[in-house]
Amino acid sequence: SQTIHQWPATLVQPVGSPLSLECTVEGTSNPNLYWYRQAAGRGLQLLFYSVGIGQISSEVPQNLSASRPQDRQFILSSKKLLLSDSGFYLCAWSFRDSNTEAFFGQGTRLTVV
């Protein structure tokens, strides 16, 4: 069966520091991968979407970037965090086929201080 791992669960970082959140999927190949941010009152905002290694689509302009160095690894990064980057970040995957669901990780609570 497939599993998704996302870490760390919580993170407190100072303004201006770098960020690296990692997500890995097991038990499947060639998944679609996603990074979402969940903000209070705003739901889940799609940040990045990937259909393959090195193929990243950015949905909104922001201070963050994503990379997919391996088929089942998705990394969310920032060179210098801003206070506004605080939030709850969710990684997800889905099969390539249309009409299939997304499977979510446990999420990372990021607080920038």
Under 8 Å between Cβ of 92 and 105: yes
Q: Which of 7, 56, 58, 104 binds other proteins (CB under 8 A)?
A: 104
Q: Which of 21, 34, 78, 85 binds other proteins (CB under 8 A)?
A: 34
Total residue length of the chain: 113
CA distance 61 to 71: 25
Residue 106 binds other proteins (CB under 8 A): yes
Q: Which residues contact 24 (CB under 8 A, 6 or more apart)?
A: 4, 5, 72, 73, 74
Residue 61 binds other proteins (CB under 8 A): no
Residue 105 binds other proteins (CB under 8 A): yes
Residue 100 binds other proteins (CB under 8 A): yes
Residue 46 binds other proteins (CB under 8 A): yes
Q: What are phi and psi of 83, to 5 degrees?
A: -55, -35
Q: List residues binding other proteins (CB under 8 A).
A: 32, 34, 36, 41-46, 49, 51, 90, 92, 94-102, 104-107
